Structure 1
Amino acid sequence: MKISGNTILLTGGSSGIGRELARRWHDLGNTVIIASRNRDALDKTAEGYENIHVMILDAGKGADIGQFVRDAIEKFPAINVLVNNAGIMKFEDITGSRDLSDAEAEIETNLLGPIRLIDGFIDHLKGQADAAVINVTSGLAFVPLPKAATYSATKAALHSYTVSLRAKLKDAVEVIEIAPPGVQTELTPGQSEREEYMPLDEFIDETMKQFEAAETPPEVLTEPVKPFRHAERDGKFDDLLAMLATR
């Protein structure tokens, strides 16, 4: 992916990883459109950044995505990069019958949201120079956190979808996966204070170094996530799963 001169549409730009990626890409000379449900938080991300623009989108509402895509392309016809970063994570007890509304919302937002947005933008992207799709998954795509089973499953599915997309779009649209480790954000309550998680600024620094390299790798992996990504290859899957099961 080229590092500057893009028009990037990024979902989940109101906080955390999305907010910081938007600002870093802006400062490298890109126009960035950020989208989420929270207008006030989006405005905070964009404040002081001339070429960060705000659009409202609930990635979990499939009925809204088609119109959002049409509006985005009409207003920003130069869009050549789509970043699917919006996501929600809920802890759940899967050992008994329960209300599945949280699980359904995670599937809608974390998996169907990216699939629908890719579907909406793909014909446009194929006509753009230097086009790219970037999907943000998780280390939990490779070793699940049992108390966040649905979240982990959506990220595993998005990883698989990304691999398929890369194979089918070869030489037409670059397809990149960012797989974060646990990062100090407010994805879940109190997560920004957990010492065992990677500080957000360190995660962004290490991630952006890979985008600024001569060639962006198909999987952007920071050091803390590599044991999870390579757990099966390295024979560490069972140990890591047992560790996560105690959390």
Structure 2
Amino acid sequence: MDITSRTVFMVGGTSGIGLELAHRFRAAGSTVVVGGRNTEVLAQLTAEGLGAVEIDVTDADSVARARDNVLKAHPDLDTVVTMSGTGGPEDLWDTAHFALAQTIVEVNLLGTIRVIDAFTPHLLARGAGTIVTVSSGIGFLPFPLMPTYGASKAAVHAYSEALRAQLAGTGIEVAELVPPAVATRIGGSNPHALALDAYGEEVMELLAQDPTPHEILVQAVLMHRWAERDGTYDALVAQRSQALATLPGRTQG
């Protein structure tokens, strides 16, 4: 895609990867509107000259209001990025984990679907545009300490594939961003996490390709994405399972 002339709605762009990419799209010359729940950050972004819209992807009415506000100000909107996400460790021996699991699915999967549903009619009417979904390397290579996060991201991958097939021939492209561990709130505890600025730079280079890749795969995520193909899947899952020793009542074998 031409990253210098887009009109982008970055949903979930008030922190982490979303905020990094919002700034990079704007620096490249695109018009950017950031959506999120943190009103303090949204006010700061407005002061910086970016667009800002409050949105809660778990609330259908909030998503509809955000859509109406964005399209009123930017009827030429052509790019929607569904960046909102949450996650955390879960102890599957303790049924109390279900509350977190429910929140993760509500934000990561259903929130993605709500945003896509809200903007697809607009993009279809334009006959052109781009939807960028966000899965994760964990969706392809499980990290057993974060089971529902991985499951939700695997679901986003499958949904993205189906969405691309259903939108084929409409002029709307679907790109799936597949991050590895990145130094953000979710991935920052990983000592091997990729620096946020390095990740943002590599992502923008990939997005700028023509045609836009179906999957935005930085070098650090290739081991996750192709683990089954490369025959490293079982060994890597076993290695990543060592983190389970941090849960109550577990010992590392």
Q: Measure how far apart 1:138 and its partner are.
A: 0.5
CA distance in 2, matches of 1:202, 1:181: 12
SS of aligned partner of 1:127? helix
Out of 119, 132, 135, the residue aligned to residue 134 of structure 1 is 132
Is the CA contact 1:61–1:108 (under 8 Å) kept in the aligned structure 2?
no
Task: Name the residue aligned to 2:176.
Answer: 177
SS of the aligned residue for 2:52 comes to strand
1:99/1:81 CA distance change after superposition, 3 Å:
same
- Relative to structure 1, is the Cα distance of residues 177 and 117 closer, same or farther in structure 2, using a 3 angstrom cutoff? same
Residue 228 of structure 2 aligns to a residue in which SS?
coil
Q: Deviations over 1:116-146 (max 9, x none)?
A: 1111110101122540000011100101111
Structure 1 CA distance for aligned equivalents of residues 104 and 126 of structure 2: 31
Structure 2 unpaired stretches of 5+: 244-253
Question: Which residue does 2:96 correspond to in 1?
Answer: 98
Tell me which of 221, 228, 243 is aligned to 1:232. 228
2:246 aligned residue: none
Structure 2: distance between partners of 1:8 and 1:47: 18
In the TM superposition, residue 16 of structure 1 has moved relative to its aligned partner by: 1.2
What is the distance in 1 between the residues matched to 2:150 and 2:46? 30
How well do the aligned residues superpose, as a CA RMSD in angstroms? 1.6
Where in structure 2 are the equivalents of 1:99-114 lying within 5 Å?
99-114=97-112
- TM-score, length of structure 2 as denominator length: 0.90
Kept in 2: contact 1:83–1:134 (CA 8 A): yes
Match of 1:209 among 205, 209, 213: 205
* Secondary structure, aligned partner of 2:35: strand
Q: Percent identity?
A: 33
- Which structure has the larger Rg over C-alpha atoms? 2
Counterpart of 1:154 in structure 2 is 152
**Structure 1 contact 19–45 (Cα < 8 Å) conserved:** no
Structure 1 residue 161 displacement after superposition = 0.2
User: Residue deviations 1:148-183, cap 9 Å, x none?
Assistant: 111111000000000011111113210000100000
Provide the rounded CA distance (Å) in 2 between the counterparts of 1:149 and 1:61.
24
Query: Any conservation in 2 of the 1:36–1:55 contact (CA below 8 Å)?
Result: yes
Aligned residue for 2:227, secondary structure, equals coil
SS at match of 2:44: helix
Deviation at 1:195, TM superposition (A): 3.1
Measure, in 1, the Cα distance between the counterparts of 2:159 and 2:209.
25
Distance 1:183 1:46, change over 3 A: farther
Instruction: Report how far residue 64 of structure 1 moved.
Output: 2.4
Give the TM-score, by structure 1 length: 0.92
Q: Residues of 2 paired with 1:187 and 1:225: CA distance?
A: 16
